Amino acid sequence: MDYVDSQPRNISHSWSWNGDAYTPSLQGVSEMRTPAQHNIDNTGLIYDYSTRQTMPSNLNIQKACPHPFLAPPSAPLIYDLRYAPTSLRFLSPPPFAGCGYEFLRVSLTSERPRQIRLISPYFPWAFDIGPSAGEEAVTCLDVLSTLHAALQCPLTDTEWGTAGDDKRTSLIRARDRRLWIQLALYGSSNPAPHTRPTAQRESLLLRVDWLGSSVAFMGLVKDEAFARRRLIPGGRERLETWVVKFRKL
């Protein structure tokens, strides 16, 4: 299943190397830049800034690290997968506090992948992601937009049938919690009733309910052992595979 959902935006962001630390560069925030300029600015990115360290000489280390925006445990954003990426927010302190989702329009890794696969111990599906329109590589925004869209699909009868009693209880509890939040957001006093979910959709179980209360995106990691166990017998791992981690809200 291939979900690709996000519109191209000419908002640039780059990270530069400064001795043994990573320095965020906000140049270009107020100017419009072409995808080519954006790509040149980000060609040499190193993708792990959680600790101060010297530049790794082994390129495989870089390949195993996503952009700092999506790298646990220090990803600088809070995002609830029940809502669109436009709702995410960056944590304090500066330079990103108060910034919007447009900053995620940067390549997921320095390898600039054309297609990746997302798997997780938190859900049973595999989601294939390609670059959105106007992009030459999968971006951090592509990852979150596609993951959100995929988890908004209604749960199928087969998926419900494979769930055990405990999982079914968890699904219903998560659905009810989600609907309670929707009611608070789209109550009768809301001046824009056209934005409310339909009654039919409100009653549906969604894939995101499979996560229970662990609906906060925590980041992407490489876990080759889990990826091999997750691969169907007889299948071949053709795509760059990342494991999604979540945390509770």
What gap in Å lies between CA 129 and CA 148, rounded to an integer? 12
Q: How confident is the model at residue 12 (pLDDT cuts 50, 70, 90)?
A: very low
Of the ranges 66-70, 135-139, 185-189, which one carries the lowest mean pLDDT score? 185-189
85 and 137 fall within a common domain: yes
- Do 197 and 161 lie in a common domain? yes
Q: Are 141 and 119 found together in one domain?
A: yes
Distance CA 190, CA 179 (A): 16
Q: What local confidence, expressed as pLDDT, does residue 197 receive? A: 53
Residue 4 within any structural domain of the chain: no
Is residue 3 one of the residues assigned to a domain? Answer: no
**Is the confidence at residue 194, as pLDDT, over 50?**
no
Quickly list H helices, the chain: 35-41, 59-63, 140-151, 157-162, 165-185, 199-202, 224-230
The pair of structure tokens assigned to 131 is 């670059």
- Say if residues 35 and 134 touch (Cβ distance below 8 Å): yes
Total number of domains in the chain: 2
Q: Which of 14-23, 73-82, 230-239 has the highest mean pLDDT?
A: 73-82
Same-domain check for residues 174 and 235: no
**What pLDDT is stored for residue 186 in this prediction?**
74
Question: Which of the two residues, 34 and 28, has the higher pLDDT score?
Answer: 34
pLDDT at position 201, please?
Answer: 56
Full residue range of the structural domain in which residue 46 is found: 14-153+214-247
| pLDDT of 166 strictly over 70 | yes
Per-residue pLDDT averaged across 105-121, rounded? 96
Nearest-5° Cα angle at 248, 240 to 170: 95
Domain co-membership, 32 together with 100: yes
